[in-house]
Amino acid sequence: MAKSLADMQQDCIIVNGGVLLKGKLILEDGSVFHGTLLNNIKATGEVVFNTGMTGYQEILTDPSYCRQIVTLTYPMVGNYGIAEIFMQSRKSFVNGFIIGELCEQGSNWHYETSLSEFLTRQGIPCLYNVDTRAVTRKIRSAGTMKGIIVAEDAAQTEIDELFAVPIKKDVVNEVTTPEIYKMESEKKDAPEVVVMDFGIKQNILKSMHELGCSLTVVPAQTKAEEILAMNPDGIFLSNGPGDPKDVPEVIAEVKKLIGKKPMFGICLGHQLLALALGADTYKLKFGHRGSNQPVKNLATGRVHISSQNHGFAVDEKSFEGLPLEVTHRSVNDGTVEGMRHTGLPIFSVQYHPEASPGPDDNMYLFDQFWTMLTKGE
């Protein structure tokens, strides 16, 4: 039945002379959270939350969030706008964005455009004026789950159709580089590193490049034989989205690289290394996502604040009988945040030492990789 004018007006909010459509986030358990739609674009994805107070652009452009609907707990977003310098990938791969207050007037000396303009240009569905802490409490108690963003007056048939859309699993191939490219170093005798790109953040590349490494970035599906033919001094396994077990063909290639060259992995790269070495991984209830996550370095006893973005973890119990040991542990829940091979120059961490956003407490890990490459330690 057609809606009356009065009914349609109730579905809209008048702000600064413009008509903004009411919308809602619906979770698969039936929970509903109301807000305002920035753009009338529907979305389906896994709903997750990030507790960081800054860094919304880096979060939006981190490929590890591919196909997810990201909720920010910080109450106001967009207050410093958007700038090209903070982009972490060629585009945003998120399926949706859930926030509290959307700030239209950004103020920053890097400012180039507003957050709302960026979201619209990127085609990212955004629901704002949402009680994001209520969303977070739900996800923390019930676990991550599928959700959809729709207009307030969406028909039940439309809602059912969106929930019927499966969440894509082949996400690494969506975010990886389509072709090989190089980042040469100006340093004499710079170590050569092959970077396996599973959805790498630009600040990881920047961190290694500024240290003095010459980088060759290769697609995720590159064969081990092709990598070894480049004769690098070391191999880096990047961050990326999804369940590491969804890419068994990549794990098979990583296995062939074990023991051939020094290796360093971050986030998904850490998980893929663990699986290649015979360990196991599992899905966390609601994951670790934020720039304020404490991690303990077991060798020094020091606790560092880290930036994290992962929904899976390495299972410490699966280390039994393997040449692996835990090097870092989450202070919050005791999960594995770092490991090393006891007999080979291989180490990895679950968290993001390059930050962007977040603290730089953990940049020493890139120095550790540099020492491994240049001195064989």
| pLDDT tens-digit series, residues 139-196 | 999 999 999 999 999 999 999 999 999 998 889 999 999 999 999 999 888 999 999 9
pTM of the entire predicted model:
0.93
Q: What is the pLDDT of residue 18?
A: 56
Q: What is the pLDDT of residue 20?
A: 76
Q: What is the pLDDT of residue 252?
A: 98
Q: What is the pLDDT of residue 106?
A: 87
Q: What is the pLDDT of residue 181?
A: 98
Q: What is the pLDDT of residue 375?
A: 81
Q: Left, alpha or beta for 274 (phi > 0: left; psi -120 to 50: alpha)? A: alpha
Q: What is the CATH number of domain 6-164?
A: 3.50.30.20
Q: What is the pLDDT of residue 19?
A: 65
Amino acid, single-letter form, for residue 364:
Y
Which residues lie below 8 Å from residue 113, measured CB to CB, with a gap of 6+?
Answer: 81, 82, 121
Q: What is the pLDDT of residue 377?
A: 61
pLDDT digit string (tens) for 286-321? 999 999 999 999 999 999 999 999 999 999 999 999
CA separation, residue 157 to residues 102, 142, 162, 286 (Å): 30, 26, 9, 29
pLDDT digit string (tens) for 113-130? 999 999 999 999 999 999
Name the residue ranges covered by the structural domains of the chain: 6-164, 172-375
pLDDT digit string (tens) for 215-240? 999 999 999 999 999 999 999 999 99
69 contacts 41 by C-beta, under 8 angstroms: no
Of 8 and 255, the structure prediction assigns the larger pLDDT to: 255
**For residue 211, what is the DSSP state?**
H
Phi, psi (deg, nearest 5) at residue 365: -70, -35
CA triple 292-298-301, angle to 5 deg: 75
Buried-state track 298-331, b at ≥16 Cβ within 10 A, e below 16: eeeeeebbbbbbbbbbbebebbeeeebeebbbbe
Active site residues: 267, 352, 354
Q: What is the pLDDT of residue 355?
A: 85
Tell me the mean pLDDT in the region 269-287: 98
| Residue 241, preceding peptide bond in cis (omega within 30° of 0) | no
pLDDT at 13 over 50: no
Q: What is the pLDDT of residue 273?
A: 98
Percent of the chain surpassing pLDDT 70: 94
pLDDT at 11 over 80: no
Q: Which among 96, 98, 47 has a CA at the least distance from the CA of 72?
A: 98
CA triple 222-68-38, angle to 5 deg: 130
CA 290/CA 299 separation, integer angstroms: 24
Q: What is the pLDDT of residue 104?
A: 86
Q: What is the pLDDT of residue 6?
A: 40
Q: If you search the block for the tokens 């004026």, which residue do you land on?
A: 129
The fold for domain 172-375 equals Rossmann fold (3.40.50)
Among the ranges given (87-91, 277-281, 355-359), the one the predictor scored with the smallest mean pLDDT = 355-359
Q: What is the pLDDT of residue 59?
A: 97
